[in-house]
Amino acid sequence: MDPRDTAPDSWEQEEDAEAPAPAADLPAAFASLNVNAKPFVPNVNAPVFVPSFLQASPGETPSPDGKVNREFNAGKSTIGGQIMYLTGMVDKRTLEKYEREAKEKNRETWYLSWALDTNQEERDKGKTVEVGRAYFETEKKHFTILDAPGHKSFVPNMIGGASQADLAVLVISARKGEFETGFEKGGQTREHAMLAKTAGVKHLIVLINKMDDPTVNWSLERYEECKEKLVPFLKKVGFNPKKDIHFMPCSGLTGANLKEPVVECPWYTGLPFISHLDSLPNFNRSSDGPVRLPIVDKYKDMGTVILGKLESGSISKAQQLVMMPNRHTVEVLSLLSDDVETDDASPGENLKLRLKGIEEEEILPGFILCSPDNLCHSGRTFDAQIVIIEHKSIICPGYNAVLHIHTCIEEVQITALICLVDKKTGDKSKTRPRFVKQDQVCIARLRAAGVICLETFKDFPQMGRFTLRDEGEQTFCLCKLKP
């Protein structure tokens, strides 16, 4: 057995020169990006826009309203809005309108986030609740932004966003005080990193935001401090620091280092954020496999419409498919990729499908659209390898938790502990353990409250890995299904 097989996706065995730093806390959240590379003609860049509150005081950067200095507010929606503007997807006039409206609500530093936080609750409270969706184009690629919630109360929504992503952007705040209150046990940065890895995110960009803040002032020392505290944990959850992670400093409010290099930051020699996205390799997927499309959402609109990311196979108009686990045969009436109608779709695309043969109320998030001749597995009882990342107490048979697998959420119980697994050698214990605890790896039998769709990790990684969250709504382990 490959020793690396003891982690959700990969477990780096090489010795890390850096000892894990004590967990501090970082306000953080994910803005996830799904990459579908297509040739295109880039948009004309919008003219330079400087908000009025910066024009009034060109020598200093204003501090945000005190109400936003909370764990979830690291600036991800502001960065998302800034990217939309810098790539020409939001024009100057619209941005000026957002600024005026935000100023009327005494929220003048939030105006950029309104490009993604579109409902009134999000704008009034300054926090993302639903997964915002938008699109932008670089010189080489087309991206879908999935702006997932950062607040702890909306982690299930964040999981839905991460399950559709190929690339994740972890946004943290470098501001003095905010960084220190973030990366402790139970902090959202840690949980989001675990969830993104389990969702199958292949590349992680860590944007160290608010580097222009007076308490930071583009300090290399502060940047390295943030980095040093993050790397050990990201490695622990399965990211390879040398291959999977890229750090970069930025300011979401001013757009510094998102499109153009920063004069005040000569020590950073890498590409700006948007240029770095262009430099990433394309995700090559085969269209020859069986159709697998986990459903994120559904609604009625001249029939039944479903949303989801095509993980495998290809879908075309008039194609016959089967909805699992209820085994309904359906026909594809129309399909849209990034809100553009098309005749067929390839793996990796986020789709809207209008279906015939099934009613909207017969579908639940977590159902899977499959090829008729190759249905996904479904059931209630299964064995899985579990890596306990963070958990205060021991876990025994009878333990109840909430399972998150692809787009499905279901209550489960650990009915039996089968064996322990040595993280370094992969050897399995000959006796059944009575309990497992933090930093241990085991194989356990689980039973779900209802029937769920799943595959073994070996055959289909995207549908074979999952997380468990405890009753305190904290993610504590990463898991993958065994044959």
Q: Could you read off the pLDDT of 36-65 as tens digits, one per residue?
A: 434 333 343 433 333 433 333 333 333 222
For the ranges 37-46, 202-211, 375-384, the lowest mean pLDDT is seen at 37-46
Rounded-to-integer distance, Cα 206 and Cα 172, Å: 7
Rounded-to-integer distance, Cα 124 and Cα 120, Å: 6
Residue 74, C-beta contacts closer than 8 angstroms, at least 6 positions apart: 26, 27, 28, 29, 150, 171, 172, 173, 178, 209
Give, for 77, the enclosing helix (H) or strand (E).
Answer: helix 76-86
For the ranges 48-52, 199-203, 249-253, the lowest mean pLDDT is seen at 48-52
For residues 209 and 114, is the Cβ–Cβ distance under 8 A?
Answer: no
Determine the pLDDT at residue 187. 60
Determine the pLDDT at residue 147. 60
| 144 or 337, higher pLDDT | 337
Stretch 64-90: mean pLDDT, rounded? 60
- Residue 36 sits at the vertex; the CA angle it makes with 119 and 301, to the nearest 5 degrees, is 45
Rounded-to-integer distance, Cα 139 and Cα 278, Å: 7
**Which residue type is seen at 323?**
M
Q: Nearest to residue 195, comparing CAs of 25, 389, 20?
A: 389
Q: Nearest to residue 465, comparing CAs of 455, 475, 474?
A: 455
Residue 439, C-beta contacts closer than 8 angstroms, at least 6 positions apart: 388, 389
Give, for 420, the enclosing helix (H) or strand (E).
Answer: strand 408-421
Tokens of 179: 């960084």
Determine the pLDDT at residue 210. 92
**Which tens digits make up the pLDDT trace of 173-188?**
898 877 776 666 556 6
Rounded-to-integer distance, Cα 462 and Cα 466, Å: 9
For residues 196 and 30, is the Cβ–Cβ distance under 8 A?
Answer: yes
Scanning 136-264, the segments in alpha helix (DSSP H) are 155-162, 188-198, 220-236
For residues 475 and 468, is the Cβ–Cβ distance under 8 A?
Answer: yes
pTM given for the model:
0.66
Looking at every residue in the chain, the average pLDDT score rounds to 76
Give, for 78, the enclosing helix (H) or strand (E).
Answer: helix 76-86
Domains of the chain: 8-279 (3.40.50.300), 292-370 (2.40.30.10), 377-481 (2.40.30.10)
**Which tens digits make up the pLDDT trace of 253-303?**
888 999 999 888 999 999 999 999 989 887 766 678 899 999 988 999 888
**Which tens digits make up the pLDDT trace of 103-157?**
666 555 554 555 554 444 444 444 433 445 677 888 888 887 776 544 444 344 4
